[in-house]
Structure 1
Amino acid sequence: MTAVTTQFEIKPVTTPADQAAFLAVPDRVYQGDANWVKPLTSSIEKQFRPDNPFFSYGELQQFVAFSQGQPIGRIVAAINQRLIEREGQQVGLFGFFECINDAAIATALLDTACQWLRDRDMPLARGPIDLSTHNNCFFLVDGFDTPPMVMMPYNPPYYDDLMRLAGWHKAKDAYAYDLPLAQSLPSQFERACQIAEKAGITFRPLHTKGEAFEQDCRSLYQLFTTAFAHNWSSSARTEAEFMQEARELQQLVDPDVFVIAEDQGQMIGFFMGLPDYNIPLKQVNGRLNWLGILKFLWYRRQIDRGRVIAICALPAYRRKMVPLALVYLGMKGGTKKQKPYKQAELSWVFEDNLPSRKIIEASGAHITKTYRIYEKAL
């Protein structure tokens, strides 16, 4: 661990200048890191605006560490009442953590967040979770040799050391799997598709326009809510929140890798793939102004990989081989002759989600990245 500085102070964010300093920290932390993809600044800013639905069921406080007037670290302490209600225990969160390689500063930031949570009677802290696991969460702890896929976290390798030195312990790991698309899926996946179709299951691409898109998204929301209701550390979203997120992604969807499964017209499963838009986003430096948009449109032509975000089927349809059928059709859609995809990442999957891991590993995919969430008793 490298000691970078000896004098610093930690301040709560209370002014626009403080907020600007908070947003500037990553530029210092990731300077010279070739794999880092700067998030859109607007996507971070909006999470702290008063109109964020989070504030109807939660509270937060941002903090920034300064040395000689320069921002060198940041953290957010948060309480998500929906998570507390779902888990039946008082648990606070930290997120948006970034810090230079200095254990004293990192520990002070974490302790400041913990004290804020302790003052609100939280006996347990967990993170990194940016308000909700539907947002950014996890620290990368293994697999730093390649850039992150779209909507996946990335951080310097020393963050795990910072957490352990500050007294935090692993709560749960998750994995990202890599699947080169030059290799064919094992024959069992195609057979699964045939079995599902004989059982009356039909498959189609996601609708991407108009009312058909809106209806598909409402059905997706119901499936998400049902299938992932008991995911660890997950808090429920309202339909309005889900629809807002879906509309933000609408123009980015490739329907060939977003497959819907239906039984008599009712959605019962889906395969959610997304092109790796981190490739063009890396070129825009966090801002989609007119120049950023031009760069994004130019570099999106270089996208040659995608991320599989979720594979979902209602429990009653798993015996009808719907999950394997969805994998087969999603991968088939991504390897059409006119498609550019050479690689798929299936991420993220909790280490104890053995049914999903079994399906993924049967495809020939292998673990390339490991992510971690930590806890600490207060």
Structure 2
Amino acid sequence: MRTVRQVETTRDWTDFKTVAHRIYRDDPFGLPDETIDLDRVLIDPPSSIAATRRTCAFVAYSDDEPVGRIVAIHDLNFTGYTAEPIGFFGFYEAIDDQAVADSLLDAAAQWLSGRKLASMSGPFGPSMFYSAGIVVDEVPKLPLIGMPHNPSYYANHFEKWGLVGIKDFYSYLFDDPCMIYNRPEYARHMQIFEKIRARSEITFRPMKYRSLRRDARIVQGLYNKTFTNFWGYSPLSYVEFLELLKMMLPILDRKLTLLAELHGKPVGFLMAIPDANVAASRAARFSSRWMRAAATLWHVKRRGKSPVIDGVRVDMLFVDPECPDKAVASLLIMELSQRMRDRGYTRVEAAPVLDDSPWMKGSVLTRVEHTPHRTYRIYNCDLSTIPGGSS
């Protein structure tokens, strides 16, 4: 017998986490641990973050075995900023059973409807700032650090229930991150960039761990100034950004977190994260979670000969729209390329990228011919069309 229960107890949360292990235990690209710290992000977030978000988690059972999960999310910051009655869902995992999918999505939709929200979008984990969408590529790949990974049937689950894809994001893979330096066909582009760099007064510095809080506030301010008109944007709080940075600190390469400054004023930011999932896949053979974490971090920090981690993901890139130097995005990417070369990285993947994002139009990606490597999709539905939804 199938049932759906609202998560309320510690045991319920254990079942919630167990679902992911069931879904990915036979997945050659699945990793044994959660990609984010569920306790800090979802179950027991800092009070200042919890005050801006209302959530309700559900677990689906088949004969008392947890077989699916979902979280309904009311982001008070988002609805307050946009004045749009949009609710979210996220943290979705389920076996390949449409009845299970329907029961979970029904539960999330009805909870959001009860909060007077008119539509439901997702999946988000728990907001666009953390993780968004599902992978809809036909060919499975090892997940990119910090990006979604899921069975291919999730898209069918969503679409058969009534969700419609509303936005696609992409990743762009460069297996030669210094190609603009190395390949003869880009010699003209290189000459142009050298001229731009020679006349630019932009300087770069890494984020400083000893002044992490101050730099976090600088980056948070830049983010909110840059993305005001960005699809799905709502203001990012300093506390939430600092929490994310703290989670990522163990795997960050400090030399790849770059603040761009013009006459001492911060005008841009780029953060590239070593693709620790490559190391995590190597460490998956250990049964102990502690051993897996230790082995992963050992590979992350090892930058000698033949390192396991050969690539990075460009996670954040944004520029103050009022900056008079319009080449900052390109200069940041060029600076990153040089630093990657010096650090021995040979692969870079930029994700998530909207083709119409402002920095995309002025960055290196528009100067080289490239097609997306992966595609991620966000879905939406009008809750008034769902049984038990808003009327």
Q: Deviations over 1:288-331 (max 9, x none)?
A: 85423432234334111110112222224475411111111111
2:386 corresponds in structure 1 to none
2:167 is matched with which residue? 172
TM-score by length of 1: 0.89
Matches within 5 A, 1:89-238: 89-142=84-137, 144-181=139-176, 184-185=179-180, 186-187=186-187, 188=189, 191-192=192-193, 194-204=195-205, 206-211=206-211, 213-238=212-237
Q: Which runs of 5+ in 1 are unaligned?
A: 1-6
* Equivalent residue pairs, number: 368
Which range moves more in the overlay, 127-136 or 141-150? 141-150
Q: 1:267-282 alignment to 2 at 5 Å?
A: 267-282=266-281
What displacement does 1:120 show? 1.5
Give the Cα separation in 1 of the matches to 2:3 and 2:379.
Answer: 25
Q: Which residue, 8, 11, 14 being the options, matches 1:17?
A: 11
Counterpart of 1:76 (choices 56, 71, 75) is 71
| CA distance in 2: counterparts of 1:218 and 1:341, whole angstroms | 29
- The verdict on how the C-alpha distance between 1:182 and 1:247 changes in structure 2, with shifts beyond 3 A counting, is closer
Matched, 1:325 2:326: no
CA distance in 1 between counterparts of 2:287 and 2:226 reads 35
Using the alignment, how far apart are the partners of 2:287 and 2:52 within structure 1? 30
Mapped contact 1:38–1:286 kept (Cα < 8 A): no
CA distance in 1, matches of 2:219, 2:225: 10
The whole-number CA distance in structure 1 between the counterparts of 2:191 and 2:16 is 50
Shift in Å at residue 21 of structure 1?
A: 0.5
Q: Label 1:288 to 1:357 Cα distance change in 2 as closer, same or farther (>3 A).
A: farther
Instruction: Look up the equivalent residue of 1:248 and give its one-letter code.
Output: M
String of CA shifts for 1:223-244, please: whole Å, max 9, x gaps.
1111122322233222122223
Once residues 338 and 368 of structure 2 are traced to their aligned partners in structure 1, the CA distance between those partners, rounded to angstroms, is: 13
2:48 aligns with 53
Distance 1:288 1:56, change over 3 A: farther
**Quick check: 2:274–2:311 contact (8 Å CA) kept in 1?**
yes
What is the alpha-carbon distance in structure 2 between the residues aligned to residue 235 and residue 288 of structure 1? Answer: 39
How far, CA to CA, are the matches of 2:348 and 2:272 in structure 1? 9
Q: CA RMSD in A?
A: 2.4
Partners of 2:17 and 2:287 lie apart in 1 by 13
CA contact (8 A) 1:58 1:79 kept: yes
Identical-residue share of aligned pairs (%): 27
C-alpha distance in structure 2 between counterparts of 1:197 and 1:267, whole Å? 19
Give 1:48 shift. 1.3
Q: Which moved more, 1:97-106 or 1:347-356?
A: 347-356
Quick one: which amino acid aligns to residue 15 of structure 1? T
Other-structure match for 1:348: 352
Could you give the per-residue CA deviations for residues 4-62 of structure 1, whole angstroms, max 9, x where no partner exists? xxx31111112211111111001111121111224448701222116453320221111
Structure 1 residue aligned with 2:292 = 292
Change (3 A) 1:96 1:65: same
Worse-matched range after superposition: 362-371 or 62-71:
362-371
Q: Which whole-Å CA distance do the structure 2 matches of 1:334 and 1:42 have between them?
A: 25
1:247–1:19 Cα change, 3 Å: closer
Query: Retained in 1: the 8 A contact 2:177–2:337?
Result: no
